[in-house]
Amino acid sequence: MIVLGIDTALEDVSVGLLLAGSGTVVERSFPHQRDALRRLTPLIRDVLREGGVRPQDLDVVACTRGPGSFTGIRVGVAAARALADACGARMSGVSTLRALCMAAEADEGVARLALIRCRPGEVYAGLYRQQASGVWEPVLPDAALTVPAVEGWLSGAGLSGAVEVVGPAAETAAAARAATDRVGATSQPGSDIALVNGGLADAPVAGGLAFRIRTDIARVRVRDLLQAALHDARSRRLLDPMDLIPEYLRPSQAEIRASRRSD
């Protein structure tokens, strides 16, 4: 199976190619800029050429479907859908939050909470756990939440023990939680939090959750996107190009303004 992956949801524009038979992976990326769409097509062509693959050889085209940058998601999903449609390939739309959770090895049974910055004081949140098969599956549906609401949202998952917090907003959430505790606000009974720059911090568990803030997992790795797509293919969860829909989780600012004007 030959899988091409496109990630444009966060700070990087990345393209990867997986030749599942040999395990060969080709990866290329550049920082996200205004001309991402213009630069993306040559990047795809270069990756295919390096892998010795023609577009019509592709079995699966994958992309991060969101959440993340509204513009980035639109660019990536549109490019991936157009390529898959032209090549007759199936598609895998991978949650950006799921891809972040895959970015490092995990201890067995540990859940991961991926956080991406949203509007001021808000985050996109995704809670995932690695299954025995190695596949990361959602514990709760991805959501857009205020930072103080994250712990209440987590309580609906019935978790106990350690939760690793990853993603570009992991430190933001930790700082907000620490500030809340300093001013004497109440928090989830038995929960604790710790932060270590560049790595993993363990906080004691006291009958509830212990948050381990990982500041070393803040970017999507396109090879994880490729692996997620491969798992989706084996689980028969692939989509036709026109069925892949971006996952924004909230309206854009333009949509909010338009709605207010119509009211």
Whether residue 32 has pLDDT greater than 90 = no
Tokens matching residue 122: 């808000």
What is the mean predicted confidence (pLDDT) over 13-27?
Answer: 96
Whether residue 109 has pLDDT greater than 80 = no
Let me know whether 90 and 133 are in one domain. no
Reported as a single tens digit per residue, the pLDDT across 46-79 is 999 999 999 999 999 999 999 999 999 999 999 9
Give the total number of structural domains in the chain. Answer: 2
Let me know whether 164 and 92 are in one domain. no
Residue 189 structural domain: 105-213
Let me know whether 200 and 109 are in one domain. yes
Rg of the chain over CA atoms, in angstroms?
19
Let me know whether 109 and 207 are in one domain. yes
Reported as a single tens digit per residue, the pLDDT across 131-164 is 888 889 999 999 999 998 998 899 888 887 788 9
Q: What is the DSSP string of 32-87?
A: --TTHHHHHHHHHHHHHHHTT--GGG-SEEEEEEESS-HHHHHHHHHHHHHHHHHH
Q: Strand (E) positions, 96-178?
A: 111-117, 122-130, 136-138, 143-146, 161-166
Per-residue pLDDT, 253: 59
Let me know whether 12 and 85 are in one domain. yes
Helices 36-50 and 70-87: crossing angle in degrees, nearest 10, is 40
Let me know whether 122 and 52 are in one domain. no
CATH classification at residue 62: 3.30.420.40
Query: Do 57 and 26 form a contact (C-beta atoms < 8 A)?
Result: no
Query: Do 12 and 31 form a contact (C-beta atoms < 8 A)?
Result: yes
Query: Do 162 and 137 form a contact (C-beta atoms < 8 A)?
Result: no
Let me know whether 118 and 178 are in one domain. yes
Let me know whether 118 and 179 are in one domain. yes
Whether residue 129 has pLDDT greater than 70 = yes
Closest CA to 230 of 60, 45, 17: 60
Using the 8-state DSSP alphabet, how is residue 239 labeled?
Answer: B
Per-residue pLDDT, 106: 86
Per-residue pLDDT, 97: 98
